[in-house]
Structures are given as structure tokens and as C-alpha cells.
Amino acid sequence: MPRTKEQFEEMRRATREKIHSAAMQLFVHQGFGSTNVQDIADKAGISIGLLYRHYKTKDQLFHELVAYAVEGLKRNIAFFESGQSPKTLLTQFVDEVYSDMIHGEELAHLMILIHQSLLAGAATASESYEEILRVNARLLDTTAQLIRQGQQLGEICSGDAKEMAVFLYASIQGLAEMKVLLKSNFAMPSPSVLTAFLFNGRE
């Protein structure tokens, strides 16, 4: 029997997921410049012709992955602006980061891809580069504001809120890179360790 439109869409979605997964692994472990389209097709287990039916260039694929990562940052901003308790929001955020880091590689890979995109875009000041800078700055400001609110409520330790926000994200970024570097030797710190500077000694 001929395939239905829904079956074709499911096949297309499954193929794109294979391409995304393969490309992320190669970009992270080999670097964008050292990865070619044939590498991605081989890793995904598809023909290079099929890959080209989904993406005309390696750059297009890379930018789609970065855009996907940026959407994740935007969702974090919306989450932090949801009006819940600052301690509850930050605790849930760190718990989710912890779960993602111990159960898979996608979060670590996406964070490294954003980092790679920023390094590559710094020389060109491209539109995507400028957007990543804007979204990162807004996420940092939103997190700092959340920390200030928590400090006013007595939920979060005293300190410079902007510095504390920077420290939080620097820690997560560093852990993402260590996870990729150390592989099976990587041990993800517990959420209580990650939030000790925020909640230490507070119940």
C-alpha cells in the first residue's frame, strides 16, 4: 500500500532527528571546520543525497541546531519570569540541568554548539551571533533579577546578584565541556552542590 502523508512526515521527522544527532556529536567532538557533509551522512546512517534533500549546506544545518539551542534559552527566560518563588524556580532549573546531564548528552552538546557559534560569529558579527548575544544577556539579567527577588524574600544568600548569575551559568557551561571531555569518567555534581552558593544554610 502507498504511504500516507502522515507516514511520509514521520519518516522525514525521523531522518532529521538522525541528522541532528549525528551533526551535534561531530560538531562537538571534531569541530565545525573538521566535519564534512559526508561525515554527517555516514554518522546518521543515510546517503549524502538524502541529507542534501533536508539541508543544502553544512552551515544551514549548524545554524538550525544553534537556533534550536537558542529557543531553549528563551524558554528558560519565560520560566524564570513565570512569577513563582525564586528558590523554587532556581531549584527546579538546576534539578532539570542535573537530570539532563546524567541521562544524556544533548544539553551538553547544545551548550557547546552555542559556544562554538559565538566564537565563529565574533569575527563576522552575523545576525545569528547578535541574537545569541541578546538572548544570553537577557537570560543573565532575568536570572540576576530572580536572585535579587529571592534575596529580598530571604530565600537566597546575600551577594552581588549579577556575579552569582554569571557563576551559575559558568559552572554549568564548564560542566558541559567536562562531560564531553571526560566521557565515562565524568561525575555530575549533585544539585545541592550546584546551588550551595545560593541556598547554603537556608531551609
pLDDT of residue 104: 92
The pLDDT of residue 94 is above 60: yes
Report pLDDT digits (tens) over 156-202. Answer: 999 999 999 999 999 999 999 999 999 999 999 999 999 999 996 54
Is 142 in contact with 169 (CB distance < 8 Å)? no
Distance, CA of 6 to CA of 61 (rounded, Å): 24
pLDDT of residue 203: 46
Element containing residue 137 per DSSP (H, E):
helix 127-153
Backbone dihedral angles phi then psi of residue 35, each to the nearest 5 degrees: -105, 130
Nearest CA-CA partner of 200 in 164, 168, 155:
155
Of the listed ranges 28-37, 42-51, 82-91, 140-149, the least confidently predicted one is 28-37
**Distance (Å) of CA 62 to CA 17, 45, 183:** 13, 18, 23
For 82, which DSSP code? S
Q: Tell me the mean pLDDT in the region 124-137.
A: 82
Place of cell 546524567: 102
Distance, CA of 188 to CA of 173 (rounded, Å): 12
Nearest CA-CA partner of 32 in 102, 118, 93:
118
What is the amino acid identity at position 17? E
Report pLDDT digits (tens) over 13-68. Answer: 999 999 999 999 999 989 888 999 999 999 999 999 999 999 999 999 998 999 99
pLDDT of residue 159: 96
**Residue with the larger pLDDT of the pair 151 and 120:** 151
**What average pLDDT is seen over the chain?**
91
Q: What is the CA radius of gyration of the chain?
A: 19
The percentage of residues in the chain with a pLDDT greater than 90, rounded to a whole number, is 80
Of the listed ranges 117-131, 142-156, 159-173, the least confidently predicted one is 117-131
**Residue with the larger pLDDT of the pair 202 and 86:** 86
**Residue with the larger pLDDT of the pair 32 and 77:** 77
Distance, CA of 49 to CA of 55 (rounded, Å): 10
